[in-house]
Amino acid sequence: MITFDDFKKLQMCIATVKEVDDHQNADKLYVLKVDLGGEVRQIVAGVKQYYQKQDLIGKQVVVLKNLQPATIRGVESQGMMLATKDDNTLSILAPEKQVQNGSKVS
């Protein structure tokens, strides 16, 4: 269990996917450029087998932005796009309605 104060440390916000490229060293990964509202970041995401590039471009997603950057198969990821997965499906978490990039998730 974590405390509410721990939860408040998570900085989740809405971002729009601007670019999607294949990861050069991984078959299941994309490298995305996302606009967090005045800031563009690169995120590596394992969603390739569930989403086509064209379905992601322009999509608003939820991003954890204060996660320490990590190098994934040689490519830096500067955050994490949130998704849920069951036995058959992966679904990216997204706002129901269009909101401004950078809007906080609470």
Count of domains forming the chain? 1
At 15 the three-state DSSP class reads strand
Query: Which pLDDT score, from 0 to 100, does residue 106 have?
Result: 86
Whether 100 is covered by a domain: the verdict is: no
Q: Look up the CATH number of the domain holding residue 88.
A: 2.40.50.140
Summarize the chain as % helix, strand, coil (round to 5). 10, 40, 50
Whether 61 is covered by a domain: the verdict is: yes
For 64-93, how does the pLDDT look when each residue is reduced to its tens digit (9 = 90+)? 999 999 999 999 999 999 999 999 999 999
Whether 29 is covered by a domain: the verdict is: yes
First to last CA, the chain: 19
For 10-33, how does the pLDDT look when each residue is reduced to its tens digit (9 = 90+)? 999 999 999 999 999 999 999 999
Whether 17 is covered by a domain: the verdict is: yes
Query: Which pLDDT score, from 0 to 100, does residue 94 have?
Result: 97
Query: Which pLDDT score, from 0 to 100, does residue 37 have?
Result: 96
Burial of residue 50 (CB within 10 Å: 0-12, 13-18, 19+) is middle
For 32-66, how does the pLDDT look when each residue is reduced to its tens digit (9 = 90+)? 999 999 999 999 999 999 999 999 999 999 999 99
Cα 67 → chain centroid: 11
Whether 102 is covered by a domain: the verdict is: no
Whether 104 is covered by a domain: the verdict is: no
Ramachandran quadrant class, 88 (left: phi over 0; alpha: psi -120 to 50; beta: rest): alpha
